[in-house]
Amino acid sequence: MGNYLVTGGTGQIGTFLCEELVNGGHNVVCYDFKPNMDNISRIPKRLTVEAADVTDTSDLLQVIRKNSIDHIVHLAALVLLDSMKHPAKAYQVNIIGTNNVMEAARLLDVKKVVFASSVSVYGALKPKREGIADEDDIPNPPSDPYSTSKIADELMGKYYREAYGMDINCMRITAAWGPGRYWGYTGRFNDFVRMASLGEDAVFPADFAYKGEKLRWMYVRDVGYCFSYVSELPRTKGYLYNLGLDSPFNHRDVTEALRDILPEGRLELKELDEPTKMSSTVAGPNGLDVDCTRLYDELGFRPRFDLRRALRDMVEFERRKAGLPPI
Ligand SMILES: NC(=O)c1ccc[n+]([C@@H]2O[C@H](COP(=O)([O-])OP(=O)(O)OC[C@H]3O[C@@H](n4cnc5c(N)ncnc54)[C@H](O)[C@@H]3O)[C@@H](O)[C@H]2O)c1
């Protein structure tokens, strides 16, 4: 069994990853500067929580040493909209924080590091293959602090892997959707499903209603599972893998499935002929497809949830949380 450090462990993905790891019998230290204890209250007590900051090198070294950490999953970051609001903080946490994790792992001989990047790095890329980007395409990130810090992290991890022979994987996430975060960019999608689950008026967010979109977003439980799965693999052939479903869905698939699950649901969807300004440089919502086949063919990963099963799971989750009867 491994001794895991999960940075950003009480965030949306971190919560489900910690649950997966604890259920798999691992020792888990959840390292988060503002631990959201509500988010992890459902996880059995075998989880250790350290309220600490990835920008603090000495705290990071001390926690890794004290807990004999052999695996790190690094998720702590300021996400897209927060990064745009607080750029200086975003560069610090997302770049310096990631460098601290790499250095600490190098100095203390941590066996494996897996960390999160984002397809936001693709930006306005013209892929080699018409309409679909893969890991060999050279990203063309927009200048926002989130995308630029993620591309810096990707290159940093590659350097540490090559220069020091460290076992590092970077997962370039399409998006993780599901319970846990109802604000921010993709958080609005989660809020839409939450409102529908509770029987309230649910308006599908315009950012994800473009006719030509191709969403390979993965259900957050499966994203947690995927990080756990990759962290247990022996050194992989590749360094960086796109993380998403093996086939895309769109807003119509979501609303149709939700209408079947919640026949009384009050859903509203207005399809758009063009992506919104915000979504125009985001692969998936803007119509640029993202090839995720390497995750399946090379790493052998298989998600546990298809779209319908995932929507049903989230509906039940939200209803349970709100004290409503199951559907
Ligand atoms: N959720 C998505 O759709 C998505 C898509 C692409 C990439 N990612 C990446 O996945 C990772 C996790 O995303 P998430 O959706 O769970 O985000 P989140 O915002 O829900 O969680 C991030 C967590 O990091 C913590 N954190 C922030 N700064 C910290 C610091 N300085 N030290 C310690 N902890 C700190 C926060 O308290 C929070 O709990 C991030 O790196 C994000 O960029 C997420």
pLDDT at 95: 98
User: What per-residue confidence (pLDDT) applies to 39?
Assistant: 87
Question: CB under 8 Å to 256, separation ≥6 — which residues?
Answer: none
Write down the pLDDT at residue 69. 98
Which atom of ligand 1 is nearest to 186's Cα? Answer: 3
CA 36 to CA 278: how far, in whole Å? 28
Task: Provide CB contacts within 8 A for 155, sequence distance 6+.
Answer: none
Stated pTM of the model: 0.97
Kindly state the tokens that stand for 281.
């440089």
pLDDT for 45 equals: 74
Closest protein CA for atom 11 of ligand 1? 75
With a CB cutoff of 8 Å and minimum separation 6, the contacts of 268 are 201, 202, 203, 204
pLDDT tens, position by position, 101-132: 999 999 999 999 999 999 999 998 889 999 99
pLDDT attached to residue 184: 85
Beta strand spans in 79-196 (E)? 112-118, 132-133, 168-173, 176-177
Q: Work out whether strand 267-268 and strand 218-219 pair parallel, antiparallel, or are unpaired.
A: unpaired
Residues paired with 183 in a beta bridge? none
What token pair was written down for 177? 């959707």
How many helices (H) and strands (E) are present in the chain, helices listed first? 11, 13
Taking the CB of residue 320, how many other CB atoms lie within 10 A of it? Answer: 12
pLDDT of residue 46: 79
Quick check: 254 and 49 in contact, CB under 8 A?
no
Give the pLDDT score at 147: 96
pLDDT reported for residue 323? 97
Query: How many residues appear in the chain?
Result: 327
Which atom of ligand 1 is closest in space to residue 53's alpha carbon? 32
> What is the model's pLDDT at position 92?
98
Question: Domains in the chain, ordered, with CATH?
Answer: 3-174+218-243 (3.40.50.720), 177-215+247-290+304-321 (3.90.25.10)
- Measured CA to CA in angstroms, residue 142 lies from 129, 257, 265, 312 at distances of 21, 33, 37, 35
Ranges of the chain whose pLDDT falls below 70: none
User: Any residues with Cβ below 6 Å from ligand 1, and which?
Assistant: 7-8, 10-14, 32-34, 36, 53-55, 75-77, 79, 93, 97, 116, 118, 173, 175-176, 181, 186
- For 272-309, the pLDDT digits (tens) are 999 999 999 899 999 999 999 999 999 999 999 999 99
